[in-house]
Structure 1
Amino acid sequence: MPGQRKLGRATDQRKAILRNLTTALFVSGRIETTEARAKEVKNIAEKLITIAIKEADNFTSKQVKISSAKVDAKGKKLTDSKTSKNGNKYLVIDREEKTDMVSVDSPSRLHARRLIMNWVYRPSTADGENVNVTDKLFDEIAPKYKGKNGGYTRIYKLGPRRGDAAEMVILELV
């Protein structure tokens, strides 16, 4: 018996469909698809959410020195003219150092992030900005289900599709 439904596709196509549907579910919160696909995506999504919940608070904060370019009122970088040993002139950007608090993942959280990144794509919005689904899963979705053990998704049946009578459903995050 296979680990997943075959969905009438070759392995690479099947994995691509499931990755697309899983990513779409996490980005929008709800998708409309066939029943067989929805059941597979539900299994994958619930496992990924469980991983994110277990590792959601597993990080530390650390102070880090950050060097950034000084900018003027218009947003342009401030530069300084320097001369090299052999007489060539070049521009150097003026820099300032700041200390900032940065969160550092523990090794197990890093592993969990990499497991999740294996199953989701990096989609972009209509503006062309990348959406980091892994961050959304850890920062928004996992805290919402913190005290819950499973049952993060719900399937609503819509009825047969007009063209081929495939059973259509809506899969959504609860």
Structure 2
Amino acid sequence: MRHRRRVPHLSKPADQRRALLRSLTTELIRHGRVTTTKARAKAVRSEAERIVNLAKKGTLEDRRRALGYLYDKNLVHALFSQVHERYGDRQGGYTRIIRTVSRRGDNADMAIVELV
């Protein structure tokens, strides 16, 4: 049973799963949208929302935590400087998942994750 387990395993060991989520979150914040499978999209949603919440608080500790998670230092500085005018009045729900057509090779459910 997987009671109280937040992140799906995604058929990967823990280190590969963490690297995958870090890279997807970094690219989502960099480009604003990422096309991936539906299961990965649901997993990266919580990570991206956590990083945006850190940026909204904006303390030095939160900046250091974001720098330790995201792969791009300049991206963190840009996120922390722009987040207040973009998400200042929003209480949550910073990402949107849009289902798209299934992948041709293995018929996997695909989705687009984008920042609102």
Answer whether TM exceeds 0.5 for this pair. yes
| SS of the residue 2:64 aligns to | helix
> Which residue number corresponds to residue 78 of structure 1?
none
Match of 2:41 among 24, 38, 41: 38
Shift of 1:167: 0.5
Shift of 1:142: 3.9
Specify the structure having the higher radius of gyration (Cα).
1
In 2, Cα distance between equivalents of 1:40 and 1:143: 26
Task: Find out whether 1:166 has 2:108 as its counterpart.
Answer: yes
| SS of the residue 1:169 aligns to | strand
Match of 1:13 among 9, 12, 16: 16
Deviation by residue 1:100-148 (Cα, 9 ceiling, x = unmatched): xxxxxxxxx11101111222102xxxxxxxx611112101234310010
- The structure where helix makes up a greater share of residues is 2
Q: Percent identity?
A: 42
| SS of the residue 1:159 aligns to | coil
Deviation by residue 1:2-44 (Cα, 9 ceiling, x = unmatched): 3311000011110111000000001101100001111111101
Task: Find out whether 1:117 has 2:59 as its counterpart.
Answer: no
In 2, Cα distance between equivalents of 1:19 and 1:25: 10
Compute the RMSD of aligned alpha carbons: 1.2
Q: How does 1:13-162 map to 2 (within 5 A)?
A: 13-55=16-58, 109-122=59-72, 132-162=74-104
Change (3 A) 1:116 1:13: same
Q: Letter of the aligned partner of 1:136 in structure 2?
A: A
Q: Letter of the aligned partner of 2:51 in structure 1?
A: L
Aligned residues: 113
In 1, Cα distance between equivalents of 2:14 and 2:94: 27
Check the 8 A contact 1:49/1:142 in 2, yes or no. Answer: no
In 1, Cα distance between equivalents of 2:71 and 2:57: 22
* Structure 2 unaligned blocks of 5 or more: none
* Structure 1 unaligned blocks of 5 or more: 56-108, 123-130
- The structure where strand makes up a greater share of residues is 1
Check the 8 A contact 1:48/1:116 in 2, yes or no. Answer: yes
TM-score if structure 1 supplies the norm length? 0.62
